Amino acid sequence: MKALRKVLVVDDDPVVTKSFDRVLSTKGYAVVTARNGEEALSKIAAEDYDVVYTDIRMPGMDGIEVAERIKGRTPWLPVVIVTGYGTAENEARAKAAGVSAVLHKPLSPAMIEGSAREVLAQPQIHETAALLETPPAIGREQAVPRSAAKTLAFALAAPFIGLAFALAFPFIGLGIIAKYGAEAAYKQRARILGFIKNVTLFVAGPFIGLLYAALFPVIGLGMLVWAALKARGARAEDVKAGLKTVAMIIAAPLMGLAYVVALPFVLLGVLCWIGGKHLFTTR
């Protein structure tokens, strides 16, 4: 079944709206009426129409203003001005608004039916709607080369981007590992220094004990000599000098031995300390 053409008649005179309904409804049109411009714009916003007839003189908004607003919102919708007060000024305003025709009252059934048939047969109505729904041909022609150029540039750059990523990825990963390793070492520096200290004490402990065991008889002998000299009434200065000489004679070989044995460990500890200090001060 063929769909009915919808016609909106805007007029505050019920006689005019009934005339349109009586003539057009028998010719396969669906006629809807509105009493003023505000009601007409509200109905146009709610549903679609094929043509609008509007009177010029109405309460509030006049017909030409209604036509201007309709054309501003839906420029493809044809508008026909109906007036009993046709003036050159009004017709000029109507043409400037883009109306399809101007009908002068009184209206006959033939005028109403003929104007509806002629207006709806105009091809520019459908062409205007198509132009608004579809981008202009020039715009499409310009968009295609831009899109093609963009796609081609991306296709050419993609292999180089992938190669650069593949080459740089190992170095980026190594840098990340080094960063986290340095941060972990910096956070654990107290433990590292404590470990070095404990190792040093562990290595040096036996040598300290050996030195103590070697010096203990010497110290004991020195104390005996000191006690003997004091018992014989020697002066304090002579006692001190004698003890000092005896101590140096006995201790000299032992000190040399301790120096020779401990020197490599002392040097190793110094190197560890310098390396650790450099590592943490350059953080």
pLDDT in tens, 255-264: 787 777 778 8
| First-residue to last-residue Cα distance in the chain | 86
The whole-angstrom separation of Cα 249 and Cα 266 is 25
User: Among residues 14, 18, 2, 20, which one has the least CA distance to residue 80?
Assistant: 20
Contacts of 182 (CB under 8 A, 6+ apart): 283
Please state the separation of Cα 104 from the chain's center in Å.
Answer: 62
Same domain, 25 and 110: yes
Query: Is the pLDDT higher at 12 or at 191?
Result: 12
Last residue of a domain, one of 133, 153, 179: 133
Please list, in sequence order, all residues whose beta carbon lies within 8 angstroms of the beta carbon of residue 48, skipping any fewer than 6 positions away: 6
Last residue of a domain, one of 109, 133, 157: 133
Same domain, 129 and 13: yes
Is 233 contained in some domain? yes
Reading the block at residue 209, the tokens are 């004990």
- Give me the residue label for tokens 């007060």: 85
Asked, for residue 161, whether it belongs to a domain, the answer is no
Residue 149: inside a domain, yes or no? Answer: no
Q: Which residues pair with 7 in a beta bridge?
A: 31, 51
Average pLDDT for the chain: 80
Q: Which of 30, 41, 86 is nearest to 67 (CA)?
A: 41
H or E element, residue 202:
helix 189-231
Q: Is the pLDDT of residue 87 over 70?
A: yes
How far is Cα of residue 79 from the mean position of the Cα atoms in its chain?
48
pLDDT digits (tens, 9 = 90+) for 90-117: 888 888 989 999 999 889 999 999 999 9
Q: Which domain holds residue 25?
A: 5-133
* Statement to judge: residues 23 and 96 lie in one domain: yes
242 and 129, same structural domain?
no
Going by pLDDT thresholds of 50, 70 and 90, the confidence category of residue 123 is low
Domain count, the chain: 2
Q: Burial code of 242-271, b = ≥16 C-beta within 10 A, e = fewer?
A: bbeeebeebbeeeeeebeeebeeeeeebee
Q: 67 near 42, Cβ under 8 Å?
A: no
Which CATH number covers residue 41? 3.40.50.2300
Regarding whether 270 and 198 lie in a shared domain, the answer is: yes
pLDDT tens digits, 27-81: 999 999 999 999 999 999 999 999 999 999 898 899 999 999 999 999 999 999 9
Q: Which of 89, 108, 133 is a domain's end point?
A: 133
Residue 165 lies in a domain: no
Widest CA span in the chain: 163
| 104 and 206 inside one domain | no
d(CA 99, CA 75): 10
Residue 140 lies in a domain: no
Bridge partners (DSSP) of residue 83 are: 104
